């Protein structure tokens, strides 16, 4: 695979209204198909809204649920990655990233780090994911997916990149946090710093897909972006408004970047594993 056309759908959603959100997904996906995109990616919890709270158990559905059939059908022509509340076989409720491809749906990541500080209380409503695994996509190649807070823990993109992911996708529902001063809010700058740092350190593409709109007291700021393997921003969406961001992923750029600087390839995984094991063994209980 040499190139892929990725569409980032910076979009809003309606809290706890699956039917309306599904219709929005289908409309945007149909347009992406007409425009020749290989894949379309939506924000965190794009099918359900974020602040579902106690309704999470009622909204949760298994990846094989019949209500997801329209996305499975559309995925015969395009890869779809979106966010939803997933019900596992064991009836766990997860904040998950789902991928639909070639008429089949599968859960590809369950959010691991569920924030409980400040305005957040996710751990009260969701079970935490227990795996960090890169996956293969027919249209995008080897990818790694994280969900919002996961990307604030360097271990997540580190492990995904070393499992061969050349595109790191982070689905977000990041709300605005007001802070003094002029210019962009601090959270916007912090996220782009994180994306550029990981893209450069792991010589990989990083796509941040954030939502927009208002939900209860939360305002989501958007500014979705794609960052190249040298750490430079390839494209970004505006703040606070729905936007379609298209970008061509040229995987030859990863080859060129890694040949120019081998810092990622030189990582000593056995040393890291041994030192981590020592830390775990020695850490006080």
CATH code of residue 213: 3.60.110.10
- Predicted TM-score (pTM) of the model is 0.96
List the domain range (segments joined by +) for residue 178. 3-282
Residue 212: φ, ψ to 5°:
-130, 175
- Per-residue pLDDT tens digits for 55-102: 999 999 999 999 999 999 999 999 999 999 999 999 999 999 999 999
Kindly compute the dihedral angle of the four CA atoms of residues 257, 263, 269, 272, in this order, to the nearest 10 degrees: -140
- Per-residue pLDDT tens digits for 229-275: 999 999 999 999 999 999 999 999 999 999 999 999 999 999 999 99
- CB-CB contact of 160 with 144 (8 Å): yes
- CB-CB contact of 207 with 225 (8 Å): yes
Indicate the number of domains in the chain. 1
**Strand positions, DSSP E, the chain:** 3-10, 39-41, 79-87, 93-101, 104-110, 135-137, 141-147, 167-172, 205-210, 212-215, 218-221, 225-227, 233-236, 243-250
């Amino acid at each position: 695979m040499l190139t892929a056309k990725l569409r980032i759908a910076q979009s809003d959603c309606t809290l706890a209204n699956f039917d309306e959100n599904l219709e929005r997904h289908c409309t945007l996906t149909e347009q992406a198909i007409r425009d020749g995109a290989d894949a379309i990616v939506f924000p965190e919890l794009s099918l359900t809204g974020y602040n579902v709270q106690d309704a999470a158990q009622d909204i949760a559905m298994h990846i094989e649920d019949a209500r997801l059939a329209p996305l499975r059908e559309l995925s015969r022509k395009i890869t779809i990655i979106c966010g939803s509340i997933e019900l596992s076989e064991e009836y766990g409720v997860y904040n998950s990233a789902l991928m639909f491809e070639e008429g089949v749906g599968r859960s590809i990541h369950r959010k691991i780090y569920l924030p409980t500080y400040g305005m957040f209380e996710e751990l009260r409503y969701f079970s935490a994911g227990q795996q960090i695994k890169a996956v293969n996509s027919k249209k995008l190649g080897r990818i790694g997916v994280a969900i919002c807070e996961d990307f604030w823990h360097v271990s997540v993109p580190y492990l995904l990149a070393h499992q061969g992911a050349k595109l790191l996708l982070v689905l977000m529902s990041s709300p605005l946090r007001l802070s003094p001063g002029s210019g962009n809010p601090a959270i916007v700058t912090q996220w782009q710093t994180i994306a550029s740092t990981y893209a450069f350190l792991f010589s990989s593409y990083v796509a941040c897909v954030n939502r927009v709109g208002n939900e209860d007291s939360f305002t989501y700021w958007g500014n979705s972006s794609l960052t190249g393997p040298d750490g430079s921003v390839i494209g970004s969406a505006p703040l606070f408004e729905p936007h379609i961001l298209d970008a061509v992923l040229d995987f030859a750029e990863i080859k060129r970047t890694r040949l120019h600087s081998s810092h990622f390839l030189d990582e000593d995984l056995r040393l890291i594993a041994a030192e981590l094991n020592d830390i775990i063994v020695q850490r006080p209980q």
